[in-house]
Amino acid sequence: MSEAVAPDEVRTEELLITIIARLLEGSRLVAAGASSPIPGGGCLLARKHSGNAMRVNILGSRKYNLMTGGGVELFDWAGQGRLDAFFLGGGQIDGEANINLVGTGDYPNSDIRWPGSFGSGYLYYLVPRVILFREEHTRRVFVPKVDFISTPGVSDANTYRTGGPYAMVSPICLMGFDAKKRRFHLKSVHPGHTVEEVRDNTGFDFDVPDHVPETEMPTRTVLNEIRTEIAAEIAETYPRFAERVFGVAA
């Protein structure tokens, strides 16, 4: 079996793709957005390791587009219980996994405006594995309380909800989420980073086990797959990312 490679051989993007692929194991149908090259790469890597049993839909892709009726089908899949995993981010995310995609300050007189909530309030309620993903891990993003709740991380017991936050992936750590406790918990810290660094850059409190493992690196085989097959596949939808990170042209 191929051994894990040294951390200094792995780009951050490659590690995050590997983590996401692991989180998707066992899924049947997953989807990633048009501006999500790392989640998209993770989906395609997970698909490869499933023996192509996993179906992947990447918004904006021609090759990996299972929809025949446009983006509305994504919401149909979620409503029918067919979509197993999706990715959400936010300008702000707080300790109860509430997401803010609207802006900072007192709404509607926001200081800064973001694109808006779109379908997050629907998908967050229905997709079982919503993976929160941000490439910035700072107190500006991970705040004590979001300024505006685009969609809540947890709901009252009398609210019908089959989905919600499953994990949170950032450049320095991996967190899980406990809906009953309404709290995140630290699962692993990426090589070169520390628990103290995670605490210093997170505006909310979270649970930390007595022993926090270091995030497992990809094996040499997986790393080669990412740099060849996966890089070529994501270049179709995310050409700038593929060119910048892997030097692969669409």
Please state, rounded to an integer, the average pLDDT across all residues of the chain: 95
Domain ranges of the chain: 7-92+120-139+162-246
| Bridge-based pairing state of the strands 112-113 and 103-104 | antiparallel
Report the pLDDT value the prediction gives residue 68, as an integer from 0 to 100: 86
Residues with Cβ within 8 Å of 164's Cβ and at least 6 positions away in sequence, in order, are: 97, 124, 125, 128, 130, 153, 154, 155, 177, 179
The residue-averaged pLDDT of 169-195 equals 98
**What's the maximum distance between 2 C-alpha atoms anywhere in the chain?**
57
CATH superfamily of the 7-92+120-139+162-246 domain: Glutaconate Coenzyme A-transferase (3.40.1080.10)
Residue 126 main-chain phi, psi, to 5 deg: -120, -20
DSSP string for residues in 90-123 = -SEE-TT--EE-SEESSTTS-SEE-S--TTHHHH
Per-residue pLDDT tens digits for 44-103 = 999 999 999 999 999 989 999 999 887 889 999 999 999 999 999 999 999 999 999 999
Residue 150 has pLDDT above 80, yes or no: yes
Contact call for residues 10 and 218 (beta carbons, < 8 A)? yes
- CA–CA dist 165, 201 (Å, integer): 20
